[in-house]
Structure 1
Amino acid sequence: MKRQKRDRLSRAHAKGYQAGITGRSKDNCPYAATDSRSQWLGGWREAMADRSDGLAKV
């Protein structure tokens, strides 16, 4: 059975979320393409909101 790769945009979002949870700056976004970059930043913003709400331990 073949393994399917996750959608690139959802992967960018997940990577952005992980970066935000660990406290990395949004300037460290590794994506240059507009769609991937916006997904990464969306994940980063979501993580920052979770951190401010106290949902993540730093």
Structure 2
Amino acid sequence: MRRLKRDPMERAFLRGYQHGVHGKSQDTCPFNSPTARQTWINGWREGRADHWDGFTGISGVHRLNEMRAVG
């Protein structure tokens, strides 16, 4: 059985979130499309906030699961 591809905006958000949690710069955004770029930056901002709040490593795994369940 084939798996459906995830929504590209969801993927952009999650990739941005991962960059933010790992403390990477916002300038590393790989998207050129305005909507995908904004979605990535929104994910990056949430990731940075979680990074500052200490949700890194194992303690941040539950946050990713919450985001995937909502999306």
TM-score calculated relative to the size of structure 1: 0.90
Query: Which residue type is aligned with residue 17 of structure 1?
Result: Y
Greater per-residue helix proportion:
2
Which whole-Å CA distance do the structure 1 matches of 2:51 and 2:3 have between them?
33
Structure 2: which 5+ residue stretches go unaligned? 58-71
Which residue number corresponds to residue 67 of structure 2?
Answer: none
Equivalent residue runs for 1:1-20 within 5 Å: 1-20=1-20
TM-score calculated relative to the size of structure 2: 0.75
Which whole-Å CA distance do the structure 2 matches of 1:48 and 1:22 have between them?
8
Deviation at 1:52, TM superposition (A): 1.2
SS in 1 for 2:12: helix
* Correspondence 1:46 to 2:46: yes
Q: Answer 1 or 2: higher relative contact order, Cα 8 Å, separation at least 6.
A: 1
Structure 1 segments, 4+ long, off by >3 Å, are: none
Structure 1: which 5+ residue stretches go unaligned? none
